[in-house]
Amino acid sequence: MRLILIRHGQTAANVAYTMHTALPGPELTHLGQQQAAALLTALADEKIDALYACAYQCTALTAVPLAADRGRRVLVREGIREVSAGRREGASDHASHTAFLELAFDWPVDPTTRVPDGESGLEVLERFDGVVDEAVRSGVETVAIASHGVAIQVWLAPAQSTSPSRT
């Protein structure tokens, strides 16, 4: 199976450097809408058999133009949501962002550590793996997943998992 990972378009939270990881999530900015529309050109030569997104507005709004163009429906799956910011939800200061990212990007070394009032690396990997495993089991050739920057980066970190979906 071929997997295409798509990070959602720009949101106001991205621009304001605000940690916004709770539902319903932020909407796309005008630039984010343009980025979603640009997927049609960027992926014009890609056959996409299934398209997944989480329930956050920004991922759904990123996936909808591509789904409409391809005559597909967006399969909403909770497992590909962003890593929870926990008690840092809503923070926009540099120290909070740095602490959050350092913890998340240290998960290849110790995936048992937990975001304060949030989730562990193992929990993030298990839920994301579950969606990818579902896609693999579906038997389709190419799947696009619209998700979030940190979640995608954590899942892609090579030392984190021996999941069959990544081999």
Q: Kindly report the pTM of this predicted structure.
A: 0.90
- Looking from the CA of 26 toward its CB, the CA atoms found within 13 Å total 23
pLDDT tens, 130-139?
999 999 999 9
pLDDT (mean) for 130-154: 96
pLDDT tens, 39-68?
999 999 999 999 999 999 999 999 999 999
Please report the pLDDT score of residue 160 as a whole number.
43
Please report the pLDDT score of residue 158 as a whole number.
59
> What is the spatial distance between Cα 89 and Cα 96, in angstroms, rounded to a whole number?
9
DSSP state of 11: B
> What is the spatial distance between Cα 143 and Cα 63, in angstroms, rounded to a whole number?
12
DSSP state of 55: S
Please report the pLDDT score of residue 159 as a whole number.
43
Beta strand residue intervals within the chain, DSSP E = 2-7, 50-53, 74-76, 142-147
The Cβ of residue 154 has, within 10 Å, a number of other Cβ atoms equal to 22
Question: CA dist 39 to 11, 20, 92, Å?
Answer: 16, 24, 29
CA 99 to chain centre: 20
